[in-house]
Chain A
Amino acid sequence: MINKFLDNLLIEIENVSKSKLEKYIEIKLREFLEEKKILDEI
């Protein structure tokens, strides 16, 4: 699952400009990591 996520992320970020890249990665990572279920509990 993580590999799939990383593969997709790598494909997605190919089209993201360098200035927005870090932010984009962070958002995507948070989306992936902080699943709704976990976030709700926190």
Chain B
Amino acid sequence: MTDWTLKINNFGGFKGSKVFNLKEGLNLIIGENATGKTTIINALKFLNRQEKNSENEDVKEGNHYYLHDKTQNGCIELINGHLNYFVELKTPLTILSYLKGKNEFYSKRNNRLISNNPNVIKFTFIDKSNKLMEAIEYSGSIEPIKSEIIKISHIRHHELILKKVRDLNTEFREKKEKILNDLNSRRKELELWIERNIKELEKLEEKLSRYKILDEKSEKIKNLEEKLKKKNSEYNELYYKELSKLNEVYNRISINLEKSEKKLNQLEEKKSEYESFINLENSIIKNENKIKILDQKIDNLSLKKKEIESNKKKILEFIQLLEETLVNNEDGICRHCLGNIDEKKIGKKIKELTEQKQTYLEKIKELNFQIKELNIERDKINNLLNKQKNIPKELKELSIQISSSKKRIKDYNTKLITLKDKINRVNQTLDNLKQEIDSIQKEIIQNANQDEDTKKKKMDIISKINVIKEQTQKFQEERNTLVHKILILPVNYDVLIKRTEYIIDVLNEKIEKFFLNFIDYVNSELEIMVDKLNWNFKELYIDDDLNLITINKEGKPQNFMTLSDFERKSIAIVILLIVKLKFFPDYPIFAIDEHLNSADQARFVNFINYLYENIIKSRIPLFIITSLPNNIKFEKLGFFKQNNMEDLIILYK
């Protein structure tokens, strides 16, 4: 066993340098007030990095710890110690703080380090173990720390899973409830709609059945349409074949008639023209006379012309003679008559004769013209006369033609009248047919309108029925799906709920088992305690509800609060230690600072011996108990007997 050497220099109540050898196992520090018992514990505590203020300087080399405290210019040194637990694991130095309710140790904690440290749970447990103490001290129940035990033990995971499973269980139940409510309310809604629709359908079907009578009307329309078809074909037959044929004949005759009439007019015009000639029969005679007169005139003029021509000839001969005379004159004597020739006179005579000849020529010319004129007139009259002479013959012919033409026209007219009659009759028939057709059509339209209205109303009802049927079908389908879901979903959720419940049961069982084991463990330790201490109670145990039960020697249950302060604290310390050791078996240092002072010497020694033998020995590396001297009979302390009395640290002022 190696000593833990603690050197304290100008720290706390210590002035100058002090060296303490702390044995592994139990160390008892005894001393009056203000002798430095607590300072030793605090020195160890301060060596823990968590307790140092920023001005302190510290060194750690292996198991050698050093701390320089600038506030007091002091230092603490630990040689061969195992403060690495404190330093690195951030565990508390002593349980003293908790017993006193001093939590300053933790208030200065480095949270970052703690949070990264897997041993934080130890810390928490110890911290919360105050509750254990309080619980034991004031109510006798350790129930409040159950949750803390859960936190620090592996069972915390079971608890966490349990919490989640419970949450899920609630969630599934709520979901199931909600879905069922939703589905049922929708189902009710749908059923209401289906019911309404069925009623509506019944009404509509009834309405529809009334329209069946009206269907017969369609037959009437069919008959009328047949009739109309027949009449139409009759009409077309008559119109396109009969009437068009008649009209064609009529038009042809009309054209012929027109031609004949035109010809007749021409003939009549000619006749009237001829007739005008006939009326002038006297004019023929006149014209004949005229011709005669003209002939006479022409004759006269011809005679006159002959005479003038003869005169002209004579003049021409005389001129010739005269000219010859002029040519044959010899010395002025005429060879024929030998008379004297006066040339001048002859010339003059020739001139005169020439002029006369000219006059005759002109006269002849004029006469020729007159004769010609007369001849023209005569020819004209003669032509007229010839015509006039032919008129009776032509007239006769014309009359024949006219009468024939008239007869033809008459025939045409008769035919036309007959045709017209026929056409009129056909038209009349057509009109009648047309009227009949119109009437049939009207009747059809009238019936059809009625039928259409009926059909429309009927179709409206049918379409409404279809819409409602379709809608109802959809509603029914949805309802069926819902019904299926309503049946299936709860089952599914029930499966889930059951599973969660089963997991809850399993976990509860595990947790319960854990606590039962835990209780068994604590109770077995408490049994040893009762046995070893032989105090005023016969039995001491924790029941299943984590209540601390004490049975006195008379076999009666005892109120925890009626126990002495020392007894309560002792029980609390034991429970705390065994709980601590259960979960943190390697916890290095414990210290109990003056808490057992209220005990009488015998009980104190008894309890310390019990602690040493049953809990501290070989289980806790360093255990420190401080106490006022109070006449302790150290020789009765078993562990001092086995070890050296030097293990007892006695402090003096």
Cβ–Cβ contact B495 & A38, under 8 A:
yes
Return A18 CB to nearest CB of chain B, in Å. 8
Cβ–Cβ contact B499 & A21, under 8 A:
no
Cβ–Cβ contact A13 & B157, under 8 A:
yes
The distance in angstroms between the C-alpha atoms of A3 and B549, with both chains bound, is 34
A-contacting residues, B480-533, CB 8 Å: 488-489, 492-493, 495-496, 499-500, 502-503, 506-507, 510
User: Which residues from chain B contact A38 at a C-beta distance below 8 Å?
Assistant: 492, 495-496
The distance in angstroms between the C-alpha atoms of A30 and B164, with both chains bound, is 10
Cβ–Cβ contact A2 & B506, under 8 A:
yes
B165 within 8 A of A: yes
Return B424 CB to nearest CB of chain A, in Å. 92
Contact of B161 among A3, A29, A34, A41 (CB under 8 A): A29
User: Which residues from chain B contact A34 at a C-beta distance below 8 Å?
Assistant: 496
B168 within 8 A of A: yes
B160 within 8 A of A: yes
Cβ–Cβ contact A6 & B492, under 8 A:
no
When C-beta atoms are compared, the residue in chain A nearest to B168 turns out to be A29
Q: Which of B161, B493, B499, B506 has the most CB of A within 10 A?
A: B161
Per-residue 0/1 for A1-15: is the Cβ within 8 Å of any B Cβ (1 yes, 0 no)? 011001001100100
Contact of A3 among B489, B499, B506 (CB under 8 A): B506
Cβ–Cβ contact B164 & A29, under 8 A:
yes
User: Which residues from chain A contact B154 at a C-beta distance below 8 Å?
Assistant: 10
Contact of B489 among A9, A13, A42 (CB under 8 A): A42
User: Which residues from chain B contact A41 at a C-beta distance below 8 Å?
Assistant: 488-489, 492
User: Which residues from chain B contact A32 at a C-beta distance below 8 Å?
Assistant: 499
Return A41 CB to nearest CB of chain B, in Å. 5
Per-residue 0/1 for A21-42: is the Cβ within 8 Å of any B Cβ (1 yes, 0 no)? 1100110011011100010011
Q: How many residues of B contact A (CB 8 A)?
A: 22
Contact count A vs B, C-beta below 8 Å = 46
Cβ–Cβ contact A33 & B168, under 8 A:
yes
User: Which residues from chain B contact A26 at a C-beta distance below 8 Å?
Assistant: 164, 167-168
Report whether over half of chain B's contact residues are helix, strand or loop; otherwise say mixed: helix
Q: If the complex has contacts A21-B160, A22-B164, are A33 and B488 also in contact, measured as CB distance less than 8 A?
A: no
Q: If the complex has contacts A33-B496, A33-B499, are A6 and B489 also in contact, measured as CB distance less than 8 A?
A: no
Cβ–Cβ contact A2 & B157, under 8 A:
no
Q: If the complex has contacts A34-B496, A38-B495, A38-B496, are A2 and B503 also in contact, measured as CB distance less than 8 A?
A: yes
Cβ–Cβ contact B161 & A9, under 8 A:
yes
User: Which residues from chain B contact A33 at a C-beta distance below 8 Å?
Assistant: 168, 496, 499-500
Cβ–Cβ contact B503 & A6, under 8 A:
yes
When C-beta atoms are compared, the residue in chain A nearest to B488 turns out to be A41
Cβ–Cβ contact A6 & B499, under 8 A:
no
Cβ–Cβ contact B161 & A6, under 8 A:
yes
When C-beta atoms are compared, the residue in chain A nearest to B493 turns out to be A42
User: Which residues from chain A contact B158 at a C-beta distance below 8 Å?
Assistant: 6, 10
The distance in angstroms between the C-alpha atoms of A21 and B159, with both chains bound, is 12
The distance in angstroms between the C-alpha atoms of A21 and B488, with both chains bound, is 33
The distance in angstroms between the C-alpha atoms of A3 and B513, with both chains bound, is 14
Contact of A6 among B488, B493, B496, B506 (CB under 8 A): B506
User: Which residues from chain A contact B488 at a C-beta distance below 8 Å?
Assistant: 41
Return B562 CB to nearest CB of chain A, in Å. 43
Q: If the complex has contacts A38-B496, A42-B492, are A29 and B165 also in contact, measured as CB distance less than 8 A?
A: yes
Return B183 CB to nearest CB of chain A, in Å. 12
When C-beta atoms are compared, the residue in chain B nearest to A39 turns out to be B492
Return B484 CB to nearest CB of chain A, in Å. 10
When C-beta atoms are compared, the residue in chain A nearest to B495 turns out to be A38
When C-beta atoms are compared, the residue in chain B nearest to A26 turns out to be B164
The distance in angstroms between the C-alpha atoms of A25 and B499, with both chains bound, is 15
User: Which residues from chain A contact B510 at a C-beta distance below 8 Å?
Assistant: 6
The distance in angstroms between the C-alpha atoms of A10 and B495, with both chains bound, is 23
A-contacting residues, B153-181, CB 8 Å: 154, 157-158, 160-161, 164-165, 167-168
Q: Which of A3, A30, A33, A34 has the most CB of B within 10 A?
A: A33
User: Which residues from chain B contact A13 at a C-beta distance below 8 Å?
Assistant: 157
Q: If the complex has contacts A2-B502, A33-B496, A33-B500, are A25 and B507 also in contact, measured as CB distance less than 8 A?
A: no
The distance in angstroms between the C-alpha atoms of A42 and B161, with both chains bound, is 24
The distance in angstroms between the C-alpha atoms of A30 and B167, with both chains bound, is 11
The distance in angstroms between the C-alpha atoms of A13 and B489, with both chains bound, is 32
User: Which residues from chain B contact A25 at a C-beta distance below 8 Å?
Assistant: 160-161, 164
When C-beta atoms are compared, the residue in chain B nearest to A23 turns out to be B164
User: Which residues from chain B contact A22 at a C-beta distance below 8 Å?
Assistant: 160, 164
When C-beta atoms are compared, the residue in chain A nearest to B505 turns out to be A2
When C-beta atoms are compared, the residue in chain A nearest to B489 turns out to be A42
When C-beta atoms are compared, the residue in chain A nearest to B175 turns out to be A42
Per-residue 0/1 for B108-124: is the Cβ within 8 Å of any A Cβ (1 yes, 0 no)? 00000000000000000
Return B209 CB to nearest CB of chain A, in Å. 46
The distance in angstroms between the C-alpha atoms of A13 and B62, with both chains bound, is 34
The distance in angstroms between the C-alpha atoms of A29 and B160, with both chains bound, is 12
A-contacting residues, B56-72, CB 8 Å: none
User: Which residues from chain B contact A3 at a C-beta distance below 8 Å?
Assistant: 506
Return A25 CB to nearest CB of chain B, in Å. 5
Return A21 CB to nearest CB of chain B, in Å. 7
When C-beta atoms are compared, the residue in chain B nearest to A14 turns out to be B157
Return B309 CB to nearest CB of chain A, in Å. 158
When C-beta atoms are compared, the residue in chain B nearest to A5 turns out to be B503
A-contacting residues, B119-163, CB 8 Å: 154, 157-158, 160-161
Query: What are the 3 A-B residue pairs with the smallest beta carbon separation, nearest first?
Result: A25-B164, A38-B492, A41-B492
14 A-B residue contacts at CB 8 Å?
Answer: A2-B499, A2-B506, A6-B503, A6-B506, A10-B158, A22-B164, A29-B161, A29-B503, A32-B499, A34-B496, A38-B492, A41-B488, A41-B492, A42-B489
**B residues at A contact (CB < 8 Å):** 154, 157-158, 160-161, 164-165, 167-168, 488-489, 492-493, 495-496, 499-500, 502-503, 506-507, 510
Known: A6-B161, A13-B157. 15 other contacts (CB 8 A): A2-B502, A6-B158, A6-B506, A10-B157, A22-B164, A26-B164, A26-B167, A29-B161, A30-B168, A33-B496, A34-B496, A38-B495, A38-B496, A41-B492, A42-B493
